[in-house]
Amino acid sequence: MVGETVNGERRTVNEETRLRVEVVFALHGEQVLLALEMEEGATVRQAVERSGILRRFPGISLARGRVGIHGRVARLDAPLHDGDRVEIYRPLRADPKDARRRRVERG
């Protein structure tokens, strides 16, 4: 395979077409971080599905839930880049404004 230096790293052509990404999900008391290698052009949805996290946590719904890349909400068809961290967000248990209002009312 032909090799070249990219950002100071020696890579083969095959390695250049692979992306290193992470898929993360957290519940109260449990955090999961899964490292994956994906093909160039892979999407957020493909990374989540390939990670196996949907089998591990069957309560995750990509249709109803939200995902992000490095703390920014992203679409499931968003393309991934090398080093991206795909985050699966849980729905809020309570509206933050309502929760704050209740705390203020209680004193």
pLDDT along the chain (107 residues), means of 10: 47 68 94 96 97 95 93 97 96 74 84
Q: How high is the pLDDT of residue 15?
A: 55
Cα(77)–Cα(42) distance, integer angstroms: 9
Q: Which fold does the domain 10-106 belong to in CATH?
A: Ubiquitin-like (UB roll) (3.10.20)
Torsional sign, CA 11, 69, 45, 32: positive
Cα(57)–Cα(78) distance, integer angstroms: 22
Asked if 47 contacts 38 with a C-beta cutoff of 8 angstroms, the reply is: yes
Q: How high is the pLDDT of residue 32?
A: 96
Q: Where in the chain are the domains?
A: 10-106
Q: How high is the pLDDT of residue 78?
A: 98
